[in-house]
Amino acid sequence: MDWILDHIGWLLVAAGAIAQMLMKKKGQTADDDEAAPREETFEDPMLAERTRKIREDIQRKIEERRRGGALTRPEAPPEIAPESVRELPPVVQEVFASPRQLRETADRHETERHAEMLEEQATLADQLRQAQAMKAGALKRAGFETKISDADETNDRSRGALVGELRDPAALRRAFVLREILGPPVALRRQ
């Protein structure tokens, strides 16, 4: 590891030289590819001839631009064989509408749009009613649960106090005496 750190400069120079050689080799292969473009073959001989003419024309224009010269002769349109000319599609005729028809169409579209808006508003109103009902139910339930938990808490406290008092012997005696005094008379008790 120390040797690598001591000779880091030489390693970087060697890596740069290798990278430069690879880039030079890659550049040569790219030039070879540009020099010999691949010719496409077509099944239709007319299409192949037309493509060849277009390619020649493009290469000629590129050469003229490289030399800096303008076109010396005007371009003649390419000749097209009569068999390759196809019929043009039929011309679409424009239909002119009267202002009354345009107004009726606009009114109909406005009415349809208004009806769609009313439907959407009715849907939203139903969703709002459902949400309000759910919210009211949730609030009612929360109040009920709070009320029950408060009552349970009070019962738990009083039950806990009563159990605590019955564990004390003096409090237990007092409870028996109070029952005898405050409870029904012995003759009326059920047995």
113-167 pLDDT, tens digit each: 999 999 999 999 999 999 999 999 999 988 888 888 887 777 777 777 777 777 8
Contacts 24+ apart (CB under 8 A), 91-95: none
- pTM comes to 0.29
Q: Which of 11-20, 31-40, 64-73 has the lowest mean pLDDT?
A: 31-40
Distance CA 46, CA 178 (A): 125
Distance CA 185, CA 117 (A): 81
* Pair 42, 51: CB distance under 8 Å: yes
Closest by CA to 84, choosing from 51, 47, 43, 41, is: 47
What token pair was written down for 163? 């159990």
Q: What is the per-residue pLDDT across 90-115, written as a single tens digit (0 to 9) for each? A: 766 666 778 888 888 889 999 999 99
